[in-house]
Structure 1
């Protein structure tokens, strides 16, 4: 009887061990499987976020070079943009920021800035019908550091600084968004503040601000179109096109601000950028024979470097 009891206990322990081993094996097998989304799950993401970072570097050095040129030059440019889009029911909230800063250093000219931009925008919209949103918009645009023009190799004239100028736009209007990659906003009543927070520039009455003042308010009509689209795999086009007409002063002279950026990832983060920016500001009269004319400002660039999307 005693032997029979021992045998029963031994068999029980063996069966339990086998069952436990099988359970452990099943758990291990399940943990190694890839989790797949249920095809019946149609939940839409409320927030969509992303962005891109790009840095471009270039260097040239010459030694006993008969053709001539700078003995050494180094150029660098950094670009960062990010976005966060919210969409739920009839509500949408789009936020984006673009930052750029670039310099060139050479033995003959020293260090000069080649690019500088801060551009942040936030839009809240309520869907009325067929991709048309009743929208409120806030936009801030400026630059990081001091900027100069160079009439000759030994003379430089300050033309900008942080918050000099800066543009703050508050607008209400209609926003047409036929797709997630395109938006066209129109506001018949917009308030724009031009800020020149620099004593030297303010004293000159730069950017339309009265001499000695730091802020000028304008009321007018505003149009803004944005595109952020992947044309083909790894090739992205991003653009912004703004128009503003000041009802208070020369409304027929419309201010223009436009940026274009074509980015392509060629191999493991290394790629190229091609861009072109256009600005026309009727109050920025720093051109012409007597430095009292407004002109279309153009900047174009091509860069090869490292970029990372997230």
Structure 2
């Protein structure tokens, strides 16, 4: 009997091996006609019971073939014992073919033969039997144009902006101050004052060239209940400076400068006076010179030194000219001097929203009283409240040896005294508009 089993095993092995060589694939399935295999077994063996009676019902279709009850048990036991180590056995009891049972045997190993040595090896078949591959297709999609293609002109756009050589500054402001009293025991006079100011700047800076131009004007009035209207501020300033340096690293410029200063309306020492002590273009000051300028752009600091500066004083009022006011020769309308001018300007933000401007001008004449220095110093602070409102504090100090002070003595006569320091201080709050 053992010989018969060995023959059956070898037959199954050679059949499956031949199929594996022909089709080396992970999805090889072999359908075996078990009826033909079982009939090849010795009939004497099939007549002997191999299992107890309770083991005969191993297959659910046993009752459909009553004449061969033991053959089903032999078939199942034989396949389980011989093929399970090497094959996966699948028996579908709901299906039958023309020969009998439907059994699918799937190999667990894939046999390969080395083409050079002829050796046979068995490789485990991967458990995953289904693989998906993306198929790529290439085609041509035709597009039809119903209208003719027209040539369109494309406008070029610059990716980088040109440097801005000109810098513009414009501001207009108005400061107001008002005091009112009603039955005030400490006393006082009602008053209201206003100060109008404008500032324009056009600055040009390119490589070796520096050109600064500024125009500023201030005019203030105060109206008191008993004294009437009084002027509190009156000034016109125009300045222009041009500089040229030899390279872009140097902070020194060969420079020339022009300054002009005068006022708008007549000025009086007392509100009740009839004769003005100053008028439009009486006086007017002009500085014109050449020198050198040291300029720090990042620190907003500059200092100008001119060893040759012409200072001209103009008095275009006959009465003031005849009195020899502002240093002119009596009867003359102008006075000219040649001397040294030093001017520095420093702008700095001391704290957040608090800016300082320090503008100092010093001049001395070569011919008349050399070493006697004329001073024009403006120190101002701006306190920014918001984009519209701003508070300011300003001091203006002037000392000019040509401006003599006149006073009336006890006898009612006007006496001309020496020069004195002139000081003006202003504190105000108002609106400012920058554009």
Q: Which category describes the TM-score, using the shorter chain as reference length?
A: 0.7 to 0.9
* Deviates further, 289-298 or 109-118: 289-298
Give the distance between the partners of 1:154 and 1:95, measured in 2 at CA: 39
Residue 84 in 1 paired to residue 230 in 2?
no
Q: Does 1:59 align with 2:178?
A: yes
Unaligned 5+ runs, structure 1: 1-11, 17-36
Deviation at 1:96, TM superposition (A): 0.8
Output aligned runs, 1:145-184, within 5 Å.
145-150=265-270, 154-155=272-273, 158-179=276-297, 181-184=300-303
* 1:291 match: 416
Q: Are 2:433 and 1:308 equivalent residues in the alignment? A: yes
Cα distance in structure 1, aligned partners of 2:346 and 2:264:
25
Higher RCO (CA 8 Å, separation ≥ 6 residues): 1
Corresponding residue to 1:45 among 140, 161, 164? 164
Which residue is equivalent to 1:25? none
Return the offset for 1:87: 1.1
- 1:230-277 Cα offsets, whole Å, 9 max, x none, are 444533222321111111211121101011221122034112001111
Mean alpha-carbon deviation: is it higher for 154-163 or for 127-136? 154-163
Is 2:353 aligned against 1:228? no
> How do residues 105-184 of structure 1 correspond to structure 2 at under 5 angstroms?
105-128=223-246, 130-150=250-270, 154-155=272-273, 158-179=276-297, 181-184=300-303
Match in the other structure for 1:212: 331
Counterpart CA distance in 2 for 1:184 and 1:190 is 15
CA offset digits 1:142-198 (Å, max 9, x no partner): 111111112xx7446522111111011110000000225211000001111100111
What residue in structure 2 maps to residue 272 of structure 1? 391
Q: With structure 2 as the length reference, what TM-score do the two structures score? A: 0.59
Matched, 1:241 2:360: yes
Return the alpha-carbon distance in structure 1 between the equivalents of residues 290 and 378 of structure 2. 23
Q: Does 1:102 align with 2:220?
A: yes
Q: Retained in 2: the 8 A contact 1:287–1:295?
A: no
- Range moving further from structure 2, 179-188 or 287-296: 287-296
What is aligned with 2:192? 74
Q: Which residue does the alignment assign to 2:80?
A: none
Q: Is the 8 A contact 1:265 1:307 kept in 2?
A: no
Structure 1 length-normalised TM: 0.82
Q: Are the counterparts in 2 of residues 52 and 81 from structure 1 also a CA contact under 8 Å?
A: yes
Please report how far the alpha carbon of residue 215 of structure 1 lies from its aligned counterpart in structure 2 after TM superposition: 0.7
Say if 1:287 and 1:294, in contact at 8 Å, map to a contact too. no
1:148–1:160: 8 Å Cα contact kept in structure 2? yes
Q: Whole-Å Cα distance in 2 between the matches of residues 228 and 122 of structure 1? A: 18
Please list the CA deviations of residues 112-162 of structure 1 after superposition, one character each: whole Å capped at 9, or x if unmatched. 111111111101111135110001111111111111112xx7446522111
Instruction: Work out the CA distance in 2 between the residues paired with 1:80 and 1:136.
Output: 25
Distance change (3 Å), C-alpha of 1:287 and 1:200: closer
Local SS of the residue matching 1:159: coil
> Could you tell me how far 1:293 is from its partner in structure 2?
1.1
Q: Which runs of 5+ in 2 are unaligned?
A: 1-143, 148-157, 410-414
Number of residue pairs aligned between Structure 1 and Structure 2: 275
Of stretches 163-172 and 259-268 in structure 1, the one that deviates more from structure 2 is 259-268
Determine which of 169, 186, 191 is the counterpart of 2:310: 191
